[in-house]
Amino acid sequence: MGKQRRKSLRLVSSDRFLSFLRKLGVQPKPTSRRRGGSHLMVERAANGGTLSAPVLQGKRELDPEYQREVLEELGFSPDEIQSGLDRHY
């Protein structure tokens, strides 16, 4: 039997990336009420605390490297990222 191909991050819109983050348990930060800003603060409970990161809004394409940086800032391990891709992408 052949190896199963690993999924990777790809160019997606801000909305699609935020939807992916929600499926991984990431939520918009309640205190994030800036108007007219280009970023939305999101947060995730991890390691007994809360990790947060800014995510660009309103973009038609987010670079995969940018997405990976956000996921790492939110404390996701490479295995967790791959598992999320396998389930939701």
User: Considering the domain boundaries, does residue 32 fall inside one?
Assistant: no
State residue 1's pLDDT score: 52
**How many structural domains is the chain composed of?**
1
User: Considering the domain boundaries, does residue 72 fall inside one?
Assistant: yes
State residue 28's pLDDT score: 94
State residue 18's pLDDT score: 96
User: Considering the domain boundaries, does residue 5 fall inside one?
Assistant: no
Q: What are phi and psi of 50, to 5 degrees?
A: -125, 130
Domain carrying residue 18? 14-27+44-88
State residue 32's pLDDT score: 57
Please measure the distance between the N-terminal and C-terminal CA atoms of the chain and give it in whole angstroms: 24
Give 64 or 2, the one with higher predicted confidence. Answer: 64
User: Considering the domain boundaries, does residue 64 fall inside one?
Assistant: yes
pLDDT tens string 28-75: 988 655 566 789 999 999 889 999 999 999 999 999 999 999 999 999
